[in-house]
A = this chain, B = another copy of it.
Amino acid sequence: MTGATASRGRIDKRQAILAAAFTVFARRGYAQACVQEIAEVAGVAKPTVYNHLNDKENLFRHAVTAAADAVAAENLAVVERVRNPGDDLRAALEDVARGLLQVCSGQRCRSLRQLTYAQLTVFPDLADAVHERTSVRLTEALADRLARLALAGRLRAGDPTEAAEQFLALLTGPLEHRSGLGAREVSAAETHAVATAAVDTFLRAYRPEPVQH
C-alpha cells in the first residue's frame, strides 16, 4: 500500500510538473520560459524537475507530446460521433464541425499550435510528432467516415483523404482568420456560423452526382 501510494505520489508529481511546464511554456514560449517558474507553478523545487525530466528540452518534448495526445483524443472522439450519421447528413456533419471547432478554439489546442509552430526549426521531429497526432490521424479518421458515406451513396465518390483535408480546412481556415491567428477568443456564435458555412459548402461540393438514366 505504501509502495502504491508512493508510486502514485510520484506519478502525480510528474503529472504536476508536465502540466505546469505546458502552462508556462504556453505563457512565455520555449526559450523565455524558465525552469524556475515551472517548478514554482508545479509546487516543487527546481532539482526535482531535473530528477523527473532530464533537461529543459526533454521537459518541453514531454509536455508538448502529452498535450498533443490529449487533443488527439478529443478530436478523435468528436469524429467518432459521426459513425452512425442517421438520416440527416447535414446535421451529423454540423455536429462534427462544431465539435472540432470547439476543440480547436480551446486554450490548450491554441497553445499547442503556437508552441509547435514556434519550435518548428529547432525541434522538427517534435513538430512531426504533433502533426501526426493532431492533424494526420484526424484527417484519416475523418476520411474513413467520409469513405463510408461515399460508399453508401450519400456523398460523391472521390479521394476521401482529400475530402477530409478540405472539410477540415473549411473549418480551421476561417477560424484562424477570425481569431487573428488564434490570439483572440472566438464567440460561440461565430464558430457556429463558421461550422454552418463549412458544412454548407462541403455538401454543395460533395453532393452525389445526379444519376444518369
Task: Tell me the A residues contacting B by CB distance below 8 Å.
Answer: 26-32, 113-114, 116-122, 124, 127-128, 130-131, 135-136, 139, 162, 165-166, 168-170, 172-174, 177, 180-183, 197-198, 200-202, 204-206
Contacts and interface: CB of A to CB of B under 8 A. Distances in A.
B166 A28 contact: no
A150 to B, nearest CB: 15
A202 B26 CA distance: 36
A177 to B, nearest CB: 6
Nearest to A180: B131
Given A31-B32, A165-B173, A201-B166, A118 B114 contact: yes
A130 B121 CA distance: 20
Given A119-B29, A120-B114, A127 B170 contact: no
A-side interface mostly:
helix
Contact of A128 (B119, B124, B183): B183
10 contacts: A29-B118, A117-B118, A118-B119, A127-B180, A127-B181, A135-B181, A162-B174, A165-B174, A170-B170, A201-B201
Contacts of A202: 205
Given A128-B180, A131-B180, A122 B169 contact: no
B31 A29 contact: yes
A197 B206 CA distance: 12
Contacts of A121: 26-29, 114, 183
A30 B31 contact: yes
A163 to B, nearest CB: 9
Contacts of A114: 117-118, 120-121
Nearest to A32: B31
B205 A122 contact: no
Contact of A169 (B29, B135, B172): B172
A182 B29 contact: no
B198 A166 contact: yes
B32 A122 contact: yes
A129 B182 CA distance: 14
